[in-house]
Structure 1
């Protein structure tokens, strides 16, 4: 049996600690891609950001973005799947954040809207780092200063809003927010780091996204590899025929994986590709 679809998380997996893809990893992925293996970046980030990194490798495979909420074929630009956070649901999320004095961050496939001074500074630092490293990702980012402006954003983007991420370093406050959000039947709530909550429409996940894409191409789950490191990767690791946890993955992710590779700073992804795709 040969693997025909490899789904790879970005942060903590494909990207090293410097948020870059190593030359070794690029070379292994490109070799597999040239053998007509679908190498699919599967990320919580927005589509346009993931597409930038795919272009750095030379990949033309589809992309699963925003935790499975948005799947697009890069070559044909066909939208394969989209899961929306509708306007009223986005407002409910905003109201919960407002009660805890926390500023959310809402995403469309091409744009990120954020509130709060902390996030404004964070994105300035992020953009400066990208400029230093040569990252020319064309993600648009816009600061939303107040509730009235958020209502306008939700009305304008009602057919494009696909994800919310809440970032805060007070873990107790985050836990309370997560508990409230989890009680809303229409929401799917996960995390990709200790300081965040990621929110999509119910039933949206990386695992579901992999399943949808595999069905689109007629690829059985036994011929799929999924590689990740965090909670939001767990669904695809469990779905794939070969679920791989990074060496730097959380312990409960490692427990669910079929195989544990090296860390993201030691070419863990390349080692999986070499072992199970190129040398099998």
Structure 2
């Protein structure tokens, strides 16, 4: 069996609804690695919120964080990190233009530092994984460098309106994605960035061709990745748009969907 690159989204894909990796999926991934395949994570999360799972799988590969805005190698400091933040002037323009939509909060992340526009305990709890440095206050005055990502937290019925506005007004400068339930959040990164960009960089360095990339995802921030991979796999709990472009649909994140497909495709036992 030729060597494959297995790419794993985290939330709704590798992780169960209890935010754990099932034993069957973990053991299957270990078997895949023993068979010579490479395994990596591609997530919208920052590294501090994905490191736990990176370590649990005992990975030694590069990782894609922030939906492609950060591509780095936690185990190899000589590996060339690619960090592509959003220009501060674009952030100010976006903040000014969405003021009329009465959002709940704005969150900016500079690598692993968090800037909260308005103090909110729920947001504090959600972004506290990895114990980041948190700054609270008007982002236009507290944010002191180009952020890796910008998040808009809004009421559910306003998310689509905000995304339509971003597409109409800022499409040339940013990419935006919607988080899955229960968080009604629009995540923004610099134009041209997505998980597939980072994966292609890593696969090239590993000398693994596109047709031997198996990628798993469930949400709209996985669209480019699933389309790019030679074998793009949507979880059964994923969005319909993703399933429509995937090469395969596997069982849900709570039913060992990753394990079931890998056992079949890679002849693992």
Q: CA deviation at 1:123?
A: 3.0
1:146 to 111, 114, 138: 138
Q: CA deviation at 1:19?
A: 1.1
**Matched residue SS, 1:207:** helix
State the TM-score, normalizing by the size of structure 1.
Answer: 0.86
**Matched residue SS, 1:59:** coil
2:258 to 231, 244, 269: 269
**Matched residue SS, 1:94:** helix
Q: 5 Å matches for 1:42-191?
A: 42-77=42-77, 78-102=79-103, 103-118=105-120, 120-124=121-125, 137-147=129-139, 150-153=140-143, 155=144, 157-158=145-146, 161-171=147-157, 173-182=158-167, 183-184=169-170, 185-191=172-178
* Counterpart contact for 1:114–1:141, Cα < 8 Å: no
* Counterpart contact for 2:3–2:208, Cα < 8 Å: no
What's the RMSD between the two structures over aligned residues?
2.1
Aligned to 1:28: 28
**Matched residue SS, 1:31:** helix
Q: CA deviation at 1:229?
A: 0.4
Q: CA deviation at 1:248?
A: 0.4
**Matched residue SS, 2:232:** strand
Instruction: Give the gaps of 5 or more residues in structure 2.
Output: none
CA–CA distance in structure 2, aligned partners of residues 199 and 141 of structure 1: 20
Deviations 1:108-146 (A, max 9, x none): 22233223344x32433675xxxxxxxxx5241514222
After the TM superposition, which segments of 4 or more aligned residues of structure 1 sit over 4 Å from their partners? none
Instruction: Give the gaps of 5 or more residues in structure 1.
Output: 128-136
CA–CA distance in structure 2, aligned partners of residues 86 and 110 of structure 1: 17
**Matched residue SS, 1:264:** coil
Number of aligned positions between the proteins: 263
| 1:204 is aligned to 2:204 | no
State the TM-score, normalizing by the size of structure 2.
Answer: 0.89
